[in-house]
Each structure stands twice: as structure tokens, then as C-alpha cells.
A and B are shown apart, each in its own frame.
Chain A
Amino acid sequence: MHMPKLEKIWLAIGSGSLAVFLIITGMLAVYMGLNPADGMKHTVEPENVETTEPFNHPGLEQIGPNEYRATIVSFVFGYDPNTITVPKGSTVHFQVTSRDVVHGLHIPGTATNMMIAPGHITEYTQTFNEPGEYLMVCHEYCGIGHQVMFGKVIVEDTV
């Protein structure tokens, strides 16, 4: 197929920068472990999650110095727990499920952005270095009260 020389140069620059970009993205994923939220674990039937480990005890649990596990159940239209409070510099391991429809959990100002599907457990780890009162919003349409489904992550400035 005939292609003018200028077009070849144009395509080479474009494809070349794309290849560099994809290699960097791939290295971030493989060597630095920077993957978006995921999780291959299942729950029991969504409507029974609240009587089964670990979601029968939702809440924040300290598992090390500056390290916490947040076990959260989402539902129409809220989160349990609705607010979590951690000191500045904490690393929080989220594990979240839904007892009804699909929800989201997004903490603007951080990279925490999760889809919560019933039957599955979504996991993501976030370190909170800046103190403040972060919003935790549902960003997947879940019904008539979707706009009031939110919670807070309070990161306290340690003295």
C-alpha cells in the first residue's frame, strides 16, 4: 500500500510515543504494583453478607503501625460504616462489598476509585498523607437516593 513519506514519519512518531507510553504504564503496573482496584474474592449471597465474615463486623481495624483495614458494606443508600477516622500518614486497606445493587466508592482527591459489585469484594489500598475531611461518594447510579449516598474519611493531623 502506497503511503507518502510524510505520513510514514507522522505514523512513526505517533506509534513510537504510544509504545513508550504503554511500556511506562505496564512497568508501573508490574514493578510498582500500581493497579486499579480489583479483587477476585467472592462473598455469600449478597443479601446474607451482613451475617457472614468479614462483613458481619464492618468497620475500621488497626492491623499494624499506621496500617488499617476498612471493611465496608454498601447499600441503598449508604455505607456501613459511614465515617472512618485515621491519623495522617495511615495506609488503609479497603475491602468493600454490596448487599444489593452495584455501587461505587470514590474518594475525590485520592486515587481511590472502586466499583462495588454484589457477590464480589473490591480491594484497594490508599495512604492518606494530607489531613482533611475527605468525601466518600457513590459514583454509580444505584437508585432514587443515589445523590445522598456518601460518607467521609477523616484524616487527623497528628500532633
Chain B
Amino acid sequence: MSNKSQHDMTADMSGRNDAFTDFQFQKDDRKLIIAFISFSFIAIFLGALAGALQLLQRSGWIQLPSWLTYYQLLTAHGVLLALVFTTFFIMGFLYSGVVRTLDGKLTPGERKLGWIGFYLMATGTIMATITILTDNGTVLYTFYAPMQATPWFYVGLALLIIGSWFGAFGMFAAYIRWRKNHKNETSPLFAYMAVATLILWLHASLSVAIEVVVMLIPWAFGLVERVDVTLSRTLFWYFGHALVYFWLLPAYIYWYVNIPQIVGGKIFSNSLPRLTFILLILFSIPVGFHHQLTEPGIESFWKFLQVVLTMMVVVPSLITAFSIIATFELAGRSRGARGLFGWVKKLPWKDARFFAAVMGMIIFIPAGAGGIINASFQLNQMVHNTWWVTGHFHLTLGTSVLLTFFAITYWLIPVLNGRTFTKTLNKLGIVQAGMWTIGMLLMGGVMHIVGLLGAPRRTSFSTYGDHELGLTWLSYHQVIAAGGVILFLSIILLLYIWYNLLFVAPKSEKTIQYPIGVINEQAEHPPRILERWSIWIGVSIALSFIAYAIPIYQLIVSDAPGSLPFRSW
């Protein structure tokens, strides 16, 4: 097949004739973005391998060698996927869209901030990974005190977080520069959303940085003897729930900004997506207690208040569902679709950049409903710390967000290095997304069921003394393990596609388009107040203060005895 016909194929798949434009990334910007993205690919491979092995051990399919424990693998899986893969990938993706929409290139200073971030994050990742491999950091990715890892595990994590701040500063600088040069203009939607995501990230990760740098590192070096366990957990979850929105918002960016172009439609509104992101900043932080509902030391009133605040995210989620479906329907109708649902058939189902993301969107409906159950005060008791919860975030992060990220790579790598996402690769991409969806439904779906029966999360193989219930759980584990095997095969296929896109696929003669949706002509200008960040940062801090000030004050003055360190693995 000649290069030319492949171009046409890509153009056809996108449903538009203007799939090629003149925009090209500067070589130096390209390097930075590719560095972030490639690093994330290594992390996802190692993390997925660890995930598959621990699952097979838990289900009784394999036994691990004496030098490798279940909990080491579980720690590696969580750190490398939930913390490392996500943060690197998101930095790369956000940088790409920020460069694309803010005058097409970074200044040397902005780029330098990005590189400082990259190297700090990479150093931190390597440090943490070594401590996990040597069994000195087997505390899982939530690292609850008073289990104490080597100090270098915490230093590694601190570098990962602080590094990401430099990445964020680079993008803030680009945004401020653009605002100066374009007075009285509405900022591009992608850049606006990237800034919102990073403000959320900065606010939330400040809390875990305080936990790690002020509490855990001095304690791990032996400078202080004891640590306040509940306070450290509270600081972790101040960060921990916002972390899941930090994963989700870049997926929302793709759904709101990029996909409309891929389906040949238009962005439905220029204001509602911005409002959505503001609401998500406000209601993703003062909600961490819904992870601590069954915990002592926090009064029930504050737990309930945070449950109410948690549920506020239902509103932006409903706005998002409406907007995305409206975009798809209008796109389908503009291509002559008839009847109530005729537009569904007009969507580019055979385009992996669409198909993978849409599978993620569909799964997000039941997954989000499960999330409402988790956060529902009394209902939480039925599922807290069972495998249900693991199932929940494997359907949300592991499916909705990850499938969207996979879809992003299918055009982002070609845009960056000029290689074509060929017809064959596109087919493989659809197979990959299909396998991922089936694997996750088996694994995550059955985790929900066995979790309702009480099976705990994060637990090595056990028959619980051959108790009837323990043996019932094990029978479900077999299906979960089968789902895990399908997922691992899907990752291997994904790596094959990425390898081709990075090094093998034919070079395109023309520039490949970075898909940025056009805003619907009827959409009105967004109200100026949505761009006045100081107001929203202020409201975000105020809400967090209301939700957290008194319970944290109570934890500090009540002076529960601190804990000595333990190495119980």
C-alpha cells in the first residue's frame, strides 16, 4: 500500500477531508512531549506485568519465587500505574494541547520548566521502583503509616510530585504569556481545561507533599520517633480523591475538545465545559473523608458533610454526558441521519481513536453509578475495602480513562513524529480496545460481585482456613484471573502498536492534523468570570477549609498517641 492511499484512509476514518493541516510542533517541544509519553509506556508495561502476576498468585494459578512477594508486586502495580503512568502521560498530553492551542510553541523558559519536571519525576520514579524491587518499600501506593518504608521510597514519591509541579508551572507560564498577548480574548478551550486540571492537581498534591515531606520523611530517617497515623491518612485522602479527578479530567478534555473533530462534529458549548471543570475543581477536594467513613478519630458529622460535597460532582458529570451525546447526535444528523437513533450508525465506529474512547464512555455509566454507592455513607459499609472498590476504580480509571488515553496515543504519536496510523494498526487498535473492554468487564465486574460477598481487596492467596465463604470467593477469583490474562494480552498488543507508531510505521508526506474541535457557531462567549482563576482558587480553598479545618484541628489537639514505625512485611 502506498503512502498516499494510507493518507486517504486516515482522512476517511476521521470523516472529514481536512485531516491534514499545516501545524507542526517545533522539534524541541516535540522532544519534551515524546519524553513524557514514552516514559509512561515503560511504566504501563512494568505495572501491568506486576498486576497480572499478583492476580494470578491471588487466584492460585501460580506460586511466586521466594525473592518476590505478592505485596511487592501489588505495590509496584499501584505505584507504577496509578502514580507514575498517569502523571507522565497526563503531563505529555496536556503539554501537547497547550503548545497546539497557545500560539503553537513554548518559549525556552517554559520548555525548561517542563524538562526540570521530567527529570525530577523520572529520578523519583527510579528511586521508588528500586526500593520496591529490593522489598524495602512494600507499603502499597497508599503507604499508610505506621508501616514504614525506607526513607528513599518517600523521597522518590516526593520528587515525582514536586517534579509534576514544575511541569505545571511551565504550562501556567505558557497560559499567562498567551493571555498577555491576546488581551480580551477567550482562551482556547484545551488550554483552559489544562490549566483547570493543573490547579486541581497543585491544590490536592500540596496535601500529600506535606504528609510525605513534613511527617513521613523525618520519621523514616529517625529524626522523630512517632507519627500521627490518622492525621497522615487524612492528609493522604485530601489528595487521594482529587487524584482520581486528575486522571479523569484529561480524558474529559479529549471527549470535549478533540473527539468532536474526530467524529466530524462541533463542540456543543464554549461555556458549559468550562463550568464543568470549575465544578470539578471545587468538589473534588473537600471530599476525602468518603474514603475514611469507617475510621475512628473523625466525627460522623464531618464524614456526612463530605459525603454531600462528594455527590455534587454528579452535576458536572450530567452536564458532560449531555454535551458529549449532543455533539455525537448533531454530528450524525449533519451527515443525514434520520429517526431518533439513526445518528448512532453515522459515527465512525471503525476508527480506533473514536471506538476506544467510546467504549470507555459507555463503561463510565455503570462505573460512575458504583461510585455513588461507594460514597453513600451507610452503603459504604457494605463495600469498604472489599474487592468491589478495586473493581470500581478498574472500571473508571482502568477502563474509561485508560481507553481514552489509548485512543489519544493513536493520533498523538503520528502528529508528533509524522508516522501514519495505518489501516492495519487501526484494526489492531480496535481489537485491543475490544479485548480491554471484555477483560475489564470480566475482571472489574466480577470484582464487584465477589466484593459484595465480602472478599477483601489487597490480599494474597488465602482460603481463610478453608472456611466456606473463603472457598466461595476463590471460585470467583478464577474468572477475575481470566479477565486479567485478557488484559495483559491486550497490553502486549498495545505495546506492539505503540512500537510501530514510534519506530516502524511509514512516514506521512503531509503534516498530520492535531484534532481540535471547532466550537458551534451558535455558542455564546463564556462569561468572563469563568476565567478569573483567583475567585475559583479562593472558593476551592474556602470549601476545603469548611470541610477540613475543624476535623483536622480536632485530630491535632486531641493528641492521640503517635505510632512507632513497623516493618511488617
Interface residues of A (CB under 8 A from B): 1-4, 6-7, 10-11, 14-15, 18, 21-22, 25-26, 28-29, 34-47, 76, 100-102, 104, 106, 108-109, 111-123, 133, 135, 137-148, 150, 152
B297 touches A39 (CB 8 A): yes
- How many whole Å from A100's CB to the nearest CB in chain B? 5
A2 touches B295 (CB 8 A): no
Residues A135 and B308 in contact in the complex (CB < 8 Å), given A38-B303, A120-B296, A146-B459: no
Taken together as a complex, chains A and B put the C-alpha atoms of A31 and B307 apart, in Å, by 17
- How many whole Å from B451's CB to the nearest CB in chain A? 10
* B457 to A, closest residue via Cβ: A139
Interface string of B503-528 (1 = CB under 8 A from A): 00000000000000000000110110
B residues near A10, Cβ cutoff 8 Å: 318, 322
Interface string of B83-97 (1 = CB under 8 A from A): 000000000000000
Q: Which of B386, B562, B568 contacts A106 (CB 8 A)?
A: B386
- How many whole Å from B191's CB to the nearest CB in chain A? 20
Residues A120 and B294 in contact in the complex (CB < 8 Å), given A25-B377, A144-B569: no
A118 touches B563 (CB 8 A): yes
Taken together as a complex, chains A and B put the C-alpha atoms of A122 and B295 apart, in Å, by 7
A36 touches B377 (CB 8 A): yes
A101 touches B147 (CB 8 A): yes
B230 touches A14 (CB 8 A): no
B563 touches A119 (CB 8 A): yes
A residues near B384, Cβ cutoff 8 Å: 36, 106, 113, 139
Q: Which of B138, B269, B296, B386 contacts A115 (CB 8 A)?
A: B296
A104 touches B299 (CB 8 A): no
- How many whole Å from B24's CB to the nearest CB in chain A? 36
B385 touches A40 (CB 8 A): no
Q: Considering the complex, which residues of chain B in the window 432-491 have a beta carbon less than 8 Å from any beta carbon of chain A?
A: 453-462, 464-465, 467-470
Q: Which of A1, A2, A104 contacts B456 (CB 8 A)?
A: A104
Interface of B is mostly: loop
A residues near B560, Cβ cutoff 8 Å: 42-43, 119-120
Residues A144 and B298 in contact in the complex (CB < 8 Å), given A36-B303, A120-B560: no
B303 touches A2 (CB 8 A): no
Q: Considering the complex, which residues of chain B in the window 359-404 have a beta carbon less than 8 Å from any beta carbon of chain A?
A: 376-378, 380-382, 384-386
A26 touches B304 (CB 8 A): yes
B residues near A47, Cβ cutoff 8 Å: 564
List the 6 closest A-B pairs by CB distance, nearest first.
A108-B454, A143-B568, A139-B456, A147-B462, A120-B296, A39-B296
Taken together as a complex, chains A and B put the C-alpha atoms of A10 and B326 apart, in Å, by 12
* A100 to B, closest residue via Cβ: B566
A2 touches B377 (CB 8 A): no
Taken together as a complex, chains A and B put the C-alpha atoms of A113 and B451 apart, in Å, by 13
B residues near A123, Cβ cutoff 8 Å: 296
Taken together as a complex, chains A and B put the C-alpha atoms of A14 and B361 apart, in Å, by 18
Apart from A115-B295, A119-B563, A139-B386, 6 more pairs, CB < 8 Å: A1-B524, A21-B311, A35-B303, A47-B564, A135-B470, A146-B460
Taken together as a complex, chains A and B put the C-alpha atoms of A56 and B101 apart, in Å, by 66
Interface residues of B (CB under 8 A from A): 69, 71, 74, 138, 140, 144-147, 228-230, 233, 269, 271-272, 275, 292-300, 303-304, 307-308, 311, 314-315, 318-319, 322, 326, 376-378, 380-382, 384-386, 453-462, 464-465, 467-470, 523-524, 526-527, 558-564, 566, 568-569
B271 touches A101 (CB 8 A): no
A144 touches B385 (CB 8 A): no
**Which of A42, A47, A141, A150 gathers the greatest number of chain B CB atoms within 10 Å?**
A141
Q: Would you give 23 A-B contacts (Cβ < 8 Å), ordered by A?
A: A1-B275, A6-B322, A11-B322, A14-B314, A29-B300, A36-B377, A37-B295, A38-B296, A40-B297, A42-B559, A47-B564, A108-B455, A113-B384, A114-B294, A115-B385, A121-B296, A139-B385, A139-B457, A143-B147, A144-B569, A146-B458, A147-B459, A147-B462
A residues near B138, Cβ cutoff 8 Å: 144
Taken together as a complex, chains A and B put the C-alpha atoms of A42 and B71 apart, in Å, by 30
Q: Which of A14, A39, A150 contacts B465 (CB 8 A)?
A: A150
**Which of A28, A114, A146, A147 gathers the greatest number of chain B CB atoms within 10 Å?**
A147
Residues A18 and B311 in contact in the complex (CB < 8 Å), given A29-B304, A111-B381: yes
Residues A135 and B454 in contact in the complex (CB < 8 Å), given A38-B296, A117-B297, A122-B295: yes
A residues near B230, Cβ cutoff 8 Å: 117, 119-120
- How many whole Å from B287's CB to the nearest CB in chain A? 13
Taken together as a complex, chains A and B put the C-alpha atoms of A46 and B565 apart, in Å, by 11
* B380 to A, closest residue via Cβ: A36
* A46 to B, closest residue via Cβ: B563
B308 touches A22 (CB 8 A): yes
* A141 to B, closest residue via Cβ: B458
